Structure 1
Amino acid sequence: MSNDLLPIGRFARLCRLSVKQLRHYDELGLLSPAWVDPASGYRYYRPDQARDALTVGMLRELDVPLSAVARVLAGQGADALRVARDRLEAEVARRRRALRLLDRVLAEGLPETAVSVVREPARRVRTASEPATPMAIAPATGACVARLLDGFAGVPSLVGLFPLDMAEEFEVRVALESPSGEDVLPGGAFAQALHVGPYEEIALTVHAVLAWFGDHGHAPAGPVREVYLNDPASTPPEDLETRVLIRLEDVR
C-alpha cells in the first residue's frame, strides 16, 4: 500500500461526504477506492480522487441522478446534465402548479363540485397515445392532440383519457371522435362534473367526482375522461370548460 493513500474516514472529510456514501458509491461502481485491504476490507483512496468525489457530491446536491453522474465522470456528461436539468425544471413546474392548487384550496376549501349521473353512448374514435409521468402529463397530452389534428379539417371533439392510478409511468391517450375511427370509446353510466378553469386545476374536479363515488358507494372504473369543450388557443385559461367523466363500474 502506498503511503500517499488516505483511509476512508480522512478521504470522506476531505470530500465532504460520509463514509456510508463512499461505500455506496463504491458498490455502484461510481467511485471505487484505489486499494482495499484484503484482510480487513478497509478502503483507501488516492488524494487525486478527491476531485471526482467532490463532483459526485455537488451533482447529487443538485438532484442529478447517479446514472448521469457516472456519465459526467466518464467525460460524457453534457447531454446527461441537460436531461437532468429538464427533469428538474419539470419538477419545479409541477411544484408551482401544486402551490397554485394549494392556494386555491386554502382560499376556497376542498371542492364541492356538483356531480350528476349521465349515460354516454359508445363513440367511434381515432386515438393517439404517449408514455407519461406525473410531471409530464401536459406535454404528452399535447403530443397526442398534435398527431390527431395533423391534417384534420373541422371542429374537433377531443377526449383525454387518463388512468385512475397515476403510477411513476403510465400511458396518456387522447381520442378524436370520428365516424371512420378504428376504435370505440365504450358507453355506459358515468358520474360527471363540469370543470371551469385551467387544465392544470382539473385534479380538483377529479377529486370531487371520486369523493362522490365514495359518498354514494359506487365503484369507479377508469380511465378518467376529460371532454374539452373550448379551444385553448382562443379561450382564456380561467374560462376553459371541461367535462370530467368517470364510469360507474357497478351500474349497467
Structure 2
Amino acid sequence: MSNDLLPIGRFARLCRLSVKQLRHYDDLGLLAPAWVDPSSGYRYYRPDQARDALMVGMLRELDVPLAAIAQVLADRGTDALREARDRLEADVARRRHALRLLDRVLDEGLPETAVSVVEESARRVRTASEPATPTTIAAATGACVARLLENFGGIPKLTGLFPLDMADEFEVRVAIESEAGPDVLPGGPFAHALHVGPYEEIALTVHGVLAWFGDHGHAPGGPVREVYLNDPGSTPPEHLETRVLIRLEDVR
C-alpha cells in the first residue's frame, strides 16, 4: 500500500461525503477506491480522486442521476448533463404549473364545473400518437399537433385523447377530423363541460367532470377528449376554449 493513500474516513472529510456514501458509490462502480485491504476490506483512496468525488457529490446535490454522473466521470458527460438539465427544467415547469393551479384554488376555491350530457356523433379521423409520462404530457401533445398540422392542417378540428388512468408511462393521441381518415372516434353519450382558459388548467375542468360522475353514480369511459376550439397562435391563453368530453359507459 502506498503511503500517499488516504483511509476512507479522511478521504470522506476531504470530499465532504460520508463514509456510507463512498461505500455506496464503490458498490455501484461509480467511484472505486485505489486500494482495498484484502484482510480487513478497508478502503483507501488517492488524493487525486478527490476531484471526482467532489464532482459526484455536487452533481448528486443537483439531482443528476447516477447513470449520468458515471458518464461525466468517463468524459462522456456533455450529453448526459444536458439530458439531466432538461429533466430538471421540465420538473421546474411542472412545479410552476402546480403552483399556478394551487394559487387559483386558493383564490377561487375548488371549481364548480357546469356539466351537461350531450350526444356525440361518430367521426372519422387521422391520429398521431406519442409516448408520455405525467410530466411530459404537454410536450407529447404538442408533438402530435405539430405532426398533424404539418400534414393535414385543421385547427380548430383537433381533439386530444388522454387515458383516464395516468400510469407512469402512457400514450397521448391527437385526432384530426378527416372524411378519409382510417380511424373512428366513437359516438354516444358524453358528459361535457366547456373549459375557458389556458390549456395547462384543463385538469381542473377534467376533475370537475369526473366529480360529476361520482355525484351522479355514472361510470366514466376513456379516453378523456379535449376538443380544441381556437388557434392558440392567435388566441390569448385566457380566452382559449376547450370542450372536455368523457363518455358515459353505463348509458346507451
**TM-score (norm. length: structure 1):** 0.94
Structure 2 equivalent of residue 37 of structure 1: 37
Superposed displacement of residue 150, structure 1: 1.6
Structure 2 equivalent of residue 189 of structure 1: 189
Please give the alpha-carbon distance, in whole angstroms, between the structure 2 residues aligned to 1:208 and 1:106. 16
1:154-203 C-alpha deviation (Å, 9 max, x unpaired): 65411001112223322111000111100111222221111000000001
Once the two structures are superposed, the pairs formed by residues 156-175 of structure 1 within 5 Å of their partners are 156-175=156-175
Please give the alpha-carbon distance, in whole angstroms, between the structure 2 residues aligned to 1:55 and 1:38. 28
How many residues were matched structurally?
252
Structure 1 equivalent of residue 204 of structure 2: 204
Please give the alpha-carbon distance, in whole angstroms, between the structure 1 residues aligned to 2:213 and 2:18. 49
Distance 1:156-1:197 versus aligned 2 partners, 3 A rule: closer
Superposed displacement of residue 53, structure 1: 0.5
Structure 1 equivalent of residue 91 of structure 2: 91
SS in 2 for 1:165: coil
Please give the alpha-carbon distance, in whole angstroms, between the structure 2 residues aligned to 1:163 and 1:23. 43
Q: In terms of mean alpha carbon deviation, does 26-35 or 101-110 score higher?
A: 26-35
Structure 2 equivalent of residue 221 of structure 1: 221
1:97-138 C-alpha deviation (Å, 9 max, x unpaired): 111111100000011111122222221110001112222222
Superposed displacement of residue 16, structure 1: 0.8
**Counterpart amino acid of 1:78?**
T
SS in 1 for 2:63: coil
Please give the alpha-carbon distance, in whole angstroms, between the structure 1 residues aligned to 2:155 and 2:86. 34
Please give the alpha-carbon distance, in whole angstroms, between the structure 1 residues aligned to 2:151 and 2:212. 40
1:33-80 C-alpha deviation (Å, 9 max, x unpaired): 112223332222221111100000111111111111111101111111
Aligned 8 A contact 2:155 2:231 in 1: no
Structure 2 equivalent of residue 13 of structure 1: 13
The yes-or-no answer on 1:107 pairing with 2:107 is yes
Aligned 8 A contact 2:226 2:243 in 1: yes
Structure 1 equivalent of residue 137 of structure 2: 137
Structure 1 equivalent of residue 126 of structure 2: 126
SS in 2 for 1:243: strand
Aligned 8 A contact 1:156 1:177 in 2: no
**Counterpart amino acid of 1:242?**
T
Structure 1 equivalent of residue 242 of structure 2: 242
Gapped regions of structure 1 (runs ≥ 5): none
Aligned 8 A contact 2:155 2:230 in 1: no
Structure 2 equivalent of residue 230 of structure 1: 230
**Counterpart amino acid of 2:212?**
W
| Percent of aligned pairs with the same amino acid | 86
**TM-score (norm. length: structure 2):** 0.94
Aligned 8 A contact 1:156 1:176 in 2: no
Distance 1:215-1:153 versus aligned 2 partners, 3 A rule: closer
C-alpha RMSD of the superposition: 1.5
Aligned 8 A contact 2:131 2:169 in 1: yes
Distance 1:37-1:218 versus aligned 2 partners, 3 A rule: farther
Please give the alpha-carbon distance, in whole angstroms, between the structure 2 residues aligned to 1:6 and 1:153. 66
Superposed displacement of residue 248, structure 1: 2.0
Gapped regions of structure 2 (runs ≥ 5): none
Please give the alpha-carbon distance, in whole angstroms, between the structure 2 residues aligned to 1:112 and 1:132. 29
Aligned 8 A contact 2:156 2:230 in 1: no
Aligned 8 A contact 2:156 2:228 in 1: no
Aligned 8 A contact 1:120 1:188 in 2: yes
Please give the alpha-carbon distance, in whole angstroms, between the structure 1 residues aligned to 2:163 and 2:119. 20
